[in-house]
Amino acid sequence: MIDRLRIHGVGYWLKRVGRFLFIALSSLLIFLTFLPEWQTDRWWVRQWDYPRLQVAALLLILVVSIWWIGLKRGRAFVALVVGLGAALAWQVSHFLAYLPPYLRQVATAENCPAERQISLMNANVLLTNKEYGKLLGLVGRWNPDVLLLLETGQGWEKAVAPLASRYPNQLSEAAPNTYGMILMTRLPMSGRIEHLLQPGIPSANVRLTLGGGQQVILHALHPEPPWPGDDSGERDAELVMVGREVRDDGRASIVMGDLNDVAWSRTSRLFKDVGGMRDPRVGRGFYPTFHAGHPLFRWPLDHLFVTPHFEVMEMHVLEDIGSDHFPIFFRLCLTDRAGERKVGTSALAETEQEASQELGEGVAEKKEEQRGR
């Protein structure tokens, strides 16, 4: 009898602890779902833009399992069910557009003449990665017109030197801070390396001449991520600056790189709205590139956005090169005259106001960092 009572008591307390943990986890996930709606650049808020797929999966598991945990049917139970359902719906609303049934933002090109095609490969190679041969082999197989390498130091500059015969036009800035950049192309190229907000964070602004003689603009970016000690203000401001430059120019433009942001974040949405740009992944899939070593924790950090001048022919996440990012490959077709304006001269007033606010916050964050040094 005593043993039965003991077993019953242990089971009772295990059940109570299980219910408490279930409610605590549910409350935490609901809180983290809506936390990014706080209009702030603080890193510990902005980081919760990334794992929306993973949080949605956990929420779905909790929604399904709530009926089997034996919670008392009352107001608290109803509030928990409603909260979990609302959080799940909110998470899904952010990435729903990337599921294949969704209408594509960038059409699929058919029968594109060779002189209107451009292929691009973006690879964050990881500064400490020494598996140079994997990258070189990948470039040999895919043979892109444009190759953008990020996180390049002097070791990577030496390793890719043999590609100079294939890609005679290059811009490079090696750096020990994981923000080095090498841009290589076989197409005629004019342009420069820029430092939009921070001396140690390069970007590239170039014009590429396609086989038919038309020129397209390429912006290559790798801003800082939100991280302990670094809020997202400077990243967001850099994206806004480039978006405005694309809109002001109006001609055929491509923005590519590791943006250290996911496509469904408020910042990415603002960038696309300001620049009048489109995302070829919409309606096609997520194409996650980071983290290469953790299959359950991946999201799309490496991006390509285009003005309405382009259609997409193919896009692929490529195989492992020893980095924490997978490379990604795109082949595009220029379907309109490159110099023709295909975006409006300005965005909506509320969009421009939000963009100006983000730009101001980024500049203020830069000044604060400079004073701290």
Measured in degrees and rounded to the nearest 5, phi and psi for residue 204 equal -125, 140
Q: What is the pTM of this model?
A: 0.91
Spatial CA neighbour of 372 closest among 177, 240, 231: 231
The whole-angstrom separation of Cα 342 and Cα 307 is: 7
Fold of the CATH domain 114-366: Deoxyribonuclease I; Chain A (3.60.10)
Q: What's the gap between Cα 100 and its chain centre?
A: 18
Q: Where in the chain is the domain with CATH 3.60.10.10?
A: 114-366
Task: Give the contacts of 26 (CB within 8 A, at least 6 positions apart).
Answer: 62, 66, 80, 83, 84
The whole-angstrom separation of Cα 121 and Cα 67 is: 48
pLDDT at 346: 82
The answer, yes or no, to whether residue 71 has pLDDT greater than 90, is no
The tens digit of pLDDT for each residue in 34-52 reads 999 998 889 999 999 999 9
The tens digit of pLDDT for each residue in 180-230 reads 999 999 999 999 999 998 888 999 999 999 999 999 999 999 999 888 878
The answer, yes or no, to whether residue 362 has pLDDT greater than 80, is no
Measured in degrees and rounded to the nearest 5, phi and psi for residue 203 equal -140, 170
The answer, yes or no, to whether residue 4 has pLDDT greater than 60, is no
